[in-house]
Structure 1
């Protein structure tokens, strides 16, 4: 067979010239897939996912892959990985490893390789026979659990054998019914502006029309033609925000030949007419940083450009990506600001909204891409920032109305929590975990929600409400607290450490942990300081504290 070959300077590298170092193997079942923090995590090593039983959907960055017994997929370093169980019997093996290769010609030093691929450069392959594949994974798993040095050495050999078997027995996966539906869905996403019929799409899936309609709705939660309409109207919103075409031209561009029919569909979906929506987007705003979205949304503004990413700004990406035409970079935000400015310069924005904490060089260059820059002062509270931005955009009344509704929400949430447990005056600490280290950690947003809105008291020394300092299990055991809130960083090293910590006797002896008063928080929204993030934190805290816990 043709083995994997990658370019290295001016020559190709065969798989036999790579060095592979096995790191770890773990099993993940249906409960862990759906209920553990194994959801869109950043990986720093290669991860080979092998489906031993059942079916699952893997999310690699923003791409989805259907996995069944005998299928494998590869995630490269510095990409994101998540999963969703599609059957109750699903069992996955997650195998982490590193790849090394030679440096430049004449240099004997090894270097990390970030571009190794599966055969045929596929992200997903079927391996036949699957029984042999699973048996090799089981053997590798058993051997890895031994503390014997020779067994750990044997793991390297077993892993090489597994890679060899995959290289030798891989094939591009044959299309199943689920895969056929996924392919149709992808086709719709690419061709929704064209005339599409149920008969045409069912024929692509090689299914009868009635059976196809039932399967598609069961699989994706809506009918295929509703999905077509949804995509068309989302694109229409994007085009309306550009202010470059007449209404009839937009209707034609998204697949509607009748402008009036398009207008009726749009108003039925969104509650306002296309013309009204277009007027609401008359100013071309740019959200320079992710948190700026958290102030614009309460004011009912959506920017023309904003930093969006399926992991780093997952909530905003999921809910608003189709209505924000330009997506700037989020990963290593403070390292790619020059690239972001290059993306923003041709947009001819009216207003750029940013934090006043950005560097002076950025401020100087921002002044060249828009006639007006609005800086949100880091010395203001989120309420003051919302009022300030509302005033700057001529919509201060919207800010006041939103704050009034927020305060009503706080009262409602406190009443809801009190039904489950009396929290007024209860003491808490919040922690964050990074790799194998724990930190006492409470930021401004957390303090506003937990201390001010919900009436909890800080159990930190001297009742300090803002803190970020290293701590140990021994120190935590000495803190008298009624509950603990914990942020676990979503990368493979931290999640491995978190798994070990949960079985550590010293951790389990901490009173709040023992009494099942440990509450896991998500970085989004708890690391963002904005009005909309405050609302989402309040809602999440209410849900956690209202749970019926023995």
Structure 2
């Protein structure tokens, strides 16, 4: 068994036994390594120490129990691997930003939304909405992870439909969050059934997140999420710079037989602001402009990121395009530096989408996967009390 396989087995072991007393010495012994070498190897392989990973799992499990059970604090502490409930409380507050009791109370808010982006922001704050848009085509990530755990699946195409009203009334949310200005009819109806409407008007994802956090009393969690993202972005930037160096990047969108020079706000934020990748001149701001193959060849970027519309005619053209001489002459094509991006999360603008874009960029360009397992805000552990 190689060291890398052994480290993966150890990581699996931690995930399965995080509720037990585990020490670095014990884990190193299982791996057949010295404690110091094991610690260095684990951090190099996974981007965080074994202790931090263990803490992440324990706190994630504690969040679930605080939301979904009526266990006493001392029982939750023991359940997740802490023998001292006071130490657990201090550790929880350090990691989450609020005490377990404050988190438990806030987690029981019932929140609904018509917006996919709002759902991404709520998940970043540790809240699973009781009602949200669920569609296997338009929001596959959220559908795959949460469709069984969200009681009411709303439609975004006709928000004021009788079906949406009926579903919202059935789950009795306390708050409904909009990211597009609601109609007076919708506001009046929500208020008539005791639901508080909140309209989030800011554009930047960080201010969106903090405005929602302020509305539901989760400012510390929002601040922690942003802090963690910035730290991860800095590490990703350093890793990517070792690979990409001074390479010039272009992001394209292919629709039917037309290429577009494309850059939305999320792409701008992640690629060209946080990671400081070098864009072609026309992508120093958001854009969606037609571009011919000849114009692309004249620019000849080192790396191409390509979003392909999912319709049949576009896919057929994409297959044909790869045999066109001028396409094959592109430096990025010659070097195998063409990366096809899925529409999700690259068309969504939320805290979770931005976090996923960062992870996917790091994986594409370096082969390093920062999240081999679902992290606590993304996976089943993020269920809020319903």
Query: Which TM bucket (shorter chain)?
Result: 0.5 to 0.7
Is the aligned partner of 1:420 residue 2:240? Answer: no
Tell me if structure 1 keeps the 8 A contact 2:264–2:347.
yes
**Secondary structure of the residue that 1:297 maps to in structure 2?**
helix
Is the aligned partner of 1:435 residue 2:256? Answer: yes
- After TM superposition, list the pairs within 5 Å mapping 1:64-75 onto structure 2: none
- After TM superposition, list the pairs within 5 Å mapping 1:111-510 onto structure 2: 281-329=107-155, 333-335=156-158, 337-338=160-161, 339-357=163-181, 362-363=186-187, 365-377=189-201, 379-423=202-246, 426-461=247-282, 464-510=284-330
CA displacement, residues 214-240 of structure 1 (integer Å, 9 cap, x when unaligned):
xxxxxxxxxxxxxxxxxxxxxxx8xx8
Could you tell me how far 1:356 is from its partner in structure 2?
2.7
Distance 1:303 1:505 in 2: 50
* Matching residue of 1:535: 355
Structure 1: tracts of 5 or more residues without a match = 1-236, 248-258
Distance 1:318 1:491 in 2: 22
Structure 2: tracts of 5 or more residues without a match = 1-63, 82-87, 90-99, 369-386
Q: Check 1:480–1:501 CA distance in 2 against 1; reply closer, same or farther (3 A cut).
A: closer
Distance 2:206 2:256 in 1: 34
Tell me if structure 1 keeps the 8 A contact 2:151–2:171.
no
Structure 1 ranges of 4+ moved more than 6 A: 275-278
Higher-Rg member (1/2) = 1
Distance 2:206 2:199 in 1: 15
Could you tell me how far 1:387 is from its partner in structure 2?
1.1
Tell me if structure 2 keeps the 8 A contact 1:417–1:545.
yes
Q: Check 1:278–1:422 CA distance in 2 against 1; reply closer, same or farther (3 A cut).
A: same
Tell me if structure 2 keeps the 8 A contact 1:434–1:494.
yes
Distance 2:261 2:193 in 1: 41
CA displacement, residues 453-489 of structure 1 (integer Å, 9 cap, x when unaligned):
111133133x532001222212212224222111112
Distance 2:184 2:329 in 1: 49
Could you tell me how far 1:367 is from its partner in structure 2?
4.6
Distance 2:295 2:165 in 1: 46
CA displacement, residues 280-328 of structure 1 (integer Å, 9 cap, x when unaligned):
6421110221111111111111111111123321111222223222222
Distance 1:494 1:429 in 2: 19
Q: Check 1:479–1:363 CA distance in 2 against 1; reply closer, same or farther (3 A cut).
A: farther
Could you tell me how far 1:360 is from its partner in structure 2?
6.0
Q: Check 1:458–1:341 CA distance in 2 against 1; reply closer, same or farther (3 A cut).
A: farther
* Matching residue of 1:18: none
Tell me if structure 2 keeps the 8 A contact 1:431–1:438.
yes
**Secondary structure of the residue that 1:323 maps to in structure 2?**
coil
**Secondary structure of the residue that 2:127 maps to in structure 1?**
coil
* Matching residue of 1:143: none
* Matching residue of 2:92: none
Tell me if structure 2 keeps the 8 A contact 1:288–1:306.
yes
Tell me if structure 2 keeps the 8 A contact 1:297–1:532.
yes
Tell me if structure 2 keeps the 8 A contact 1:512–1:518.
yes
Q: Check 1:283–1:431 CA distance in 2 against 1; reply closer, same or farther (3 A cut).
A: same
Distance 2:328 2:185 in 1: 49
Tell me if structure 2 keeps the 8 A contact 1:458–1:465.
no
Distance 1:491 1:422 in 2: 35
Number of equivalent positions: 283
Tell me if structure 1 keeps the 8 A contact 2:307–2:342.
yes
Tell me if structure 1 keeps the 8 A contact 2:121–2:209.
yes
Tell me if structure 1 keeps the 8 A contact 2:107–2:126.
no
CA displacement, residues 56-114 of structure 1 (integer Å, 9 cap, x when unaligned):
xxxxxxxxxxxxxxxxxxxxxxxxxxxxxxxxxxxxxxxxxxxxxxxxxxxxxxxxxxx
When normalised by structure 1's length, the TM-score is 0.47
Distance 1:306 1:334 in 2: 13
Distance 2:276 2:324 in 1: 32
- More contact order relative to length (CA 8 Å, sep ≥ 6): 2
Distance 2:185 2:284 in 1: 35
CA RMSD after TM alignment:
3.2
Distance 1:342 1:460 in 2: 50
